[in-house]
Amino acid sequence: MNLDHSILSIITFVPLVGAVLLALLPDRGKLMQWGALAVTLITFAITLHLPVHYNYAAASGAFQFATDNPWIATPAIRYHLGVDGLSMWLIVLTGFLAPLGVLISWRTVSERKKLFYTLFLLQQVAMLGIFVSLDLFLYYAFWELSLVPMTILIATFGRTENRRSAAIKFFLYAFIPSAVMLVGILWLYVNTGTFDMPQLAQLAATHGISGNSAALWLASLSFLIAFAVKVPVFPLHGWLSDAISEAPTAAVMVLAGKLGLYSILRFSFGIFPEQSRHIAPLMIALGAIGIVYGALLALVQKDLKRLAAYGTLGHVSLVILGIFTFTIAGLDGGIYQTLNEGIGGGALFMLLGILYERYSTYDMREYGGLAAKLPWMVTLFVITTLSVVGLPMLNGFVGEFLVFSGTMQSTIAHHVGWTVLATTGVILTAAYMLLMIQKVFYSNLGLKPRSVTGWDLDVREHLALWPMIALMLLMGIASPYWMQSIDTVGTYLANQIGSPDLTAPKTITRLPGSSFPMRPYQEGGQR
């Protein structure tokens, strides 16, 4: 049997087997931690099979490692799995983050460990399932599954009494639009007779999805809204700061961003290319506004986790901006930035969690002067900050630059205006991140550090953080390694949906919307 056809099933269900095993084992000593670590490490190791055996020269839009078996005859539901350059790295990233999540929860989760790690693994199953599923019904099952463990994790392991309401808020926000999306999925099935994603995309590309345009529009909106809430896109982010504020670190690391962003790229763009193109001006606007809005609100937070939550809003908005420009640069940068958000954002939340473990507060005003006490902590914090603010040679810059550059090239909407607005994000992001560093690490010892003895990073925390730091550097310097497969997807989508002549060299002309007029030049003359 060729491993390539079953590898995706193995990746998806190894954590499930692990979850069942953990549920059966007694919750004794550190058994749960070690068990979860072993399962997640094995899963990660298997995910590495994908980039190693991926055919980078394959035609764009083709799925690899595919399995396609009939599952239920009527309605026609298939067990169809497959990956392309978009989902492959997201799967590897999911595999990569999981053991780090276990390491970072090692000590902080001390009660009901069995519940915690079982749910944690189930959450991973759901995420992996979302990334590998090419059948809409199967995909939807994983999509809904992803809500449950997360909701229980927040409700059970949240840090304040507010956890239950935060969990309910998270659930309602995610569930209601998802239920509507199910309507959209069923409508598609009624009109096309298939749940199969590649077939649907094929039909869409050839204008073969029957049904009137209003209904098609509604169906596309049912998808987009469900995804946009999950991302979240401004102004649908109402659940984000509460959920992030409550959720345990390991859950926060996978809370926002990639699930929703992936789903937009795969399903909204794949099945509804025309509608996506038409709604792009709105999404570009929301993306650009979201960047500035998130950064500005982060600037006035006192709570470190809420600050990072609004920062997250800004970063996922950057991806939204990029992918909806339908330029190659915007799409490539957006997809790259989706990975970066998982790494930079994940590392930031890990570091904040480590601080909380020592000083049991997220209130910035109670910190101060830690740089002298925790030299490793401050070093890794600063590197993470630099990744988040997009310093060149670190991963964040590559994605950010491509997104903005793509926005400027886009023929959709008022590209100059939105680029200018969005680019102010680079100033504001630096402002709130450096403010956080200053409040936590510089100046004299703050209230908490004076009364509580902290300690610098221990071995386990080093083990959890350094892989992140290494990736920030590698993805900042050697981006082509990741970009080559991402670029096939970005180019494919840009050619399918965006204007086809983007790569053609442009003649220099008066900039549309520019107030700088062309001036006839006279030798040595100045006006």
Partner 1 sequence: MPSSYLWLIPLLPFTGFLINGTLGRKLPRAAVTAIALLFTAVPAAIVAWLWVTMKAVGAPDSISINAGPWITITGFHVDFAFTVDHLTLIMLGVVTGVGFLIHLYSAGYMAHEEGYWRFFAYLNLFMFFMSVLVLAESFLLLFVGWEGVGLASYLLIGFYFKKDSAANAGKKAFIVNRIGDFGFLLAMFLIVAHFGSLDFAHVFNAISVNPDWHGGVLTAIALLLVVGAAGKSAQIPLYVWLPDAMEGPTPVSALIHAATMVTAGIYMVARCHTIFDRSPYALGVVAIIGAATAIFAACIGIVQHDIKRVLAYSTVSQLGYMFLACGVGAYTAGIFHLLTHAFFKALLFLAAGSVIHALSGEQDMRKMGGLWRKIPITFWTMTMGVFAIAGIPPLAGFFSKDEILYQAFISPNPIGKLLWAVGLITAGMTSFYMFRLWFKTFFGESRVEETHASHGHDDHASHGNGGVHESPWIMLFALVILAILSVIGGWVGVPTAMFGHNEIEHFLAPVFESGASAQAATAAASQGLELTLAALSVLTALAGLGLAYTFYYKKPGTAATLAQRAPALYRLVENKFYVDEIYSAVIITPLLMFTRLILGGLVDSGLVNGSGALAGATTRGLSTLTRRVQSGNIRSYAGWLALGAAAVLIVMIFGRFWAH
Question: Which residues 389-418 are close enough to bind partner 1 by CB under 8 A?
Answer: 391-393, 398, 401-402, 404-405, 407-409
Task: Specify the residue, 300 or 452, whose C-beta has the smaller distance to partner 1.
Answer: 300
Q: In the numeric block, which tokens belong to residue 49?
A: 């099979």
CB of 240 to partner 1, least distance (A): 10
Interaction mask 340-379, partner 1, x per CB under 8 A:
-----------------------------x-xx--x----
Residues 249-268 that bind partner 1 (CB under 8 A): none
CB of 261 to partner 1, least distance (A): 18
Task: Check if the beta carbon of residue 331 is closer than 8 Å to that of residue 497.
Answer: no
Q: In the numeric block, which tokens belong to residue 118?
A: 């079982």
Residue from 26, 29, 57, 527 touching partner 1 (CB under 8 A): that is 527
Task: Specify the residue, 55 or 210, whose C-beta has the smaller distance to partner 1.
Answer: 210
CB of 506 to partner 1, least distance (A): 6
Rounded to 5 degrees, what are φ and ψ at 82? 180, 155
How far is the C-alpha of 218 from the C-alpha of 233, rounded, in Å?
19
CB of 252 to partner 1, least distance (A): 19
Residue from 45, 72, 282, 427 touching partner 1 (CB under 8 A): that is 427
Torsion from C-alpha of 339, 91, 282, 244, nearest 10 degrees: -70
Task: Specify the residue, 169 or 358, whose C-beta has the smaller distance to partner 1.
Answer: 169
Interaction mask 316-335, partner 1, x per CB under 8 A:
------------xx--x---
Q: In the numeric block, which tokens belong to residue 38?
A: 């072993």
Q: Interface with partner 1 by CB under 8 A: which range of 7-15, 18-26, 315-323, 432-440? A: 432-440
CB of 497 to partner 1, least distance (A): 15
Number of residues that bind partner 1 (CB under 8 A): 94
Helix (H) or strand (E) holding 77: strand 77-83
Task: Specify the residue, 90 or 313, whose C-beta has the smaller distance to partner 1.
Answer: 313
Q: Interface with partner 1 by CB under 8 A: which range of 65-73, 127-135, 435-443, 463-471? A: 435-443
Asked whether position 69 contacts partner 1 by CB under 8 A, the answer is: no
CB of 56 to partner 1, least distance (A): 13
Write down the H helix ranges in 231-272.
240-246, 249-252, 258-263, 269-271
Beta strand extents in 396-475 (DSSP E only): none
Task: Specify the residue, 8 or 200, whose C-beta has the smaller distance to partner 1.
Answer: 200
Asked whether position 426 contacts partner 1 by CB under 8 A, the answer is: yes
Phi-psi region of 368 (alpha: psi -120 to 50; beta: other; left: phi over 0): left
Residues 281-300 that bind partner 1 (CB under 8 A): 293, 296-297, 299-300
How far is the C-alpha of 140 from the C-alpha of 165, rounded, in Å?
25
Q: Interface with partner 1 by CB under 8 A: which range of 2-10, 30-38, 99-107, 231-239? A: 231-239
- Concatenated DSSP letters for 302-334? SBHHHHHHHHHHHHHHHHHHHHHTTSHHHHHHH
Residues 200-229 that bind partner 1 (CB under 8 A): 210-212, 214-215
How many alpha carbons fall within 13 Å on the CB side of residue 44? 17
How far is the C-alpha of 28 from the C-alpha of 42, rounded, in Å?
22
Write down the H helix ranges in 48-162.
49-53, 85-105, 113-132, 136-145, 147-157
How far is the C-alpha of 486 from the C-alpha of 109, rounded, in Å?
36
Q: Interface with partner 1 by CB under 8 A: which range of 197-205, 316-324, 460-468, 473-481? A: 473-481
Interaction mask 178-197, partner 1, x per CB under 8 A:
xxx-xx--xx--xx------
Residues 444-463 that bind partner 1 (CB under 8 A): 444
How far is the C-alpha of 425 from the C-alpha of 411, rounded, in Å?
22
Task: Specify the residue, 19 or 37, whose C-beta has the smaller distance to partner 1.
Answer: 19
Residues 505-524 that bind partner 1 (CB under 8 A): 505-506, 508-511, 514, 516-521, 523-524
First to last CA, the chain: 77
Helix (H) or strand (E) holding 415: helix 415-441
CA dist list (Å): 29 to 101, 109, 121 = 19, 13, 19
CB of 214 to partner 1, least distance (A): 6
CA dist list (Å): 359 to 355, 370, 375, 383 = 6, 11, 16, 22
Asked whether position 470 contacts partner 1 by CB under 8 A, the answer is: no
Residues 487-506 that bind partner 1 (CB under 8 A): 487, 490-491, 502-503, 505-506
Task: Specify the residue, 81 or 413, whose C-beta has the smaller distance to partner 1.
Answer: 413
